[in-house]
Structure 1
Amino acid sequence: MSGELNLQNRHSVRRLDLSLLRTIVQAVLQELFPGVEDYELGIYLVSESEITRLNEQFLRHPGPTDVLTFDYREAGKGAETVRAEIFVCTDEAATHSRRFHTRWPGEVVRYVVHGLLHLRGYDDQLLPMRRAMQRAESRLLRRLARQFDFNQLARQGNK
């Protein structure tokens, strides 16, 4: 699988090992898009204020959210190509990790997987589809957790 993967940490406090995150994202891409040879994907780790602005501007939803996925593929291209941007809110990851007694780097991986599942065609708007997406997300996260220690994503000094 080859293509362009642009990872950026736009958050000034919560820093991640982007090299390890790149390896994890590439593993997910190979699993979800096995035949894709050409992709352009941007994944941006952002603050609560940036995700709130994007959520309100593009989806007309007030307040922050955990992840936003923008799919730029031409109609009918489906699984043969990936052209997208995924915005992940690291502040929301930290908030949810406290609530669910997990570590925030693992929540970031969950949000990236969630965004990539949207690109694969999963939808979480209606309950039956949301359940199918949650099952796929959990399966994929279990597989990834056997390969990678998500806690290693947190750079020195970040909890």
Structure 2
Amino acid sequence: MKKLLLGSMLVLGATSFGAVVEDLQNNGAKPAVLNIRVKGTVVDPTKYSLIVKPLDATNTTDTMQFNFDGLTIGEEQIVEGGYSAGVYQNNILITDDYKIETSLKRNGQNATTSEYDQMAAAKLAYSLGEPQAVGREYRGKVNVKATGKAKGSFVDNGVNLEVLVKNI
């Protein structure tokens, strides 16, 4: 009983962080596959570069990811993600007085407060907080609310965070 409880706690903990989970057959022969991704960017150090990156450990360097594993039918969950944005030159965060504006976009259209109810398993709602200056960079939040509708999986990658620099 203790082994079963510990095993279920480990599986629940793993799914809470977006891990790879596979149901095992009786012989346990089904592998779990974890994707490996390598990506980089080379920039011109003589020019200004706007660098926007997620602040949460579950996010990759260029994507905000919101995991809702274990959502039940009728349940609402909200997951918050953070990001930072700054202007760099020669790999140094500049101190010039600049401002940024942010917006959420779906298919190129504004979606600052956007509900998305085109999936069978869940309804999603996105919201964006105002970015705040923290030292020489800006930090902001994106919230996603998911409501379980029916058993199944869901993926939505149609919303983007757009960051625009002003006064530089």
Higher helix fraction: Structure 1 or Structure 2? Answer: 1
Of structures 1 and 2, the larger Rg is shown by 2
Please indicate the TM-score interval, normalised by the length of the shorter structure. Answer: under 0.3
**What is the TM-score with the length of structure 2 in the denominator?**
0.25
Higher strand fraction: Structure 1 or Structure 2? Answer: 2
Which of the pair has the greater relative contact order for Cα pairs under 8 Å at 6+ separation?
1
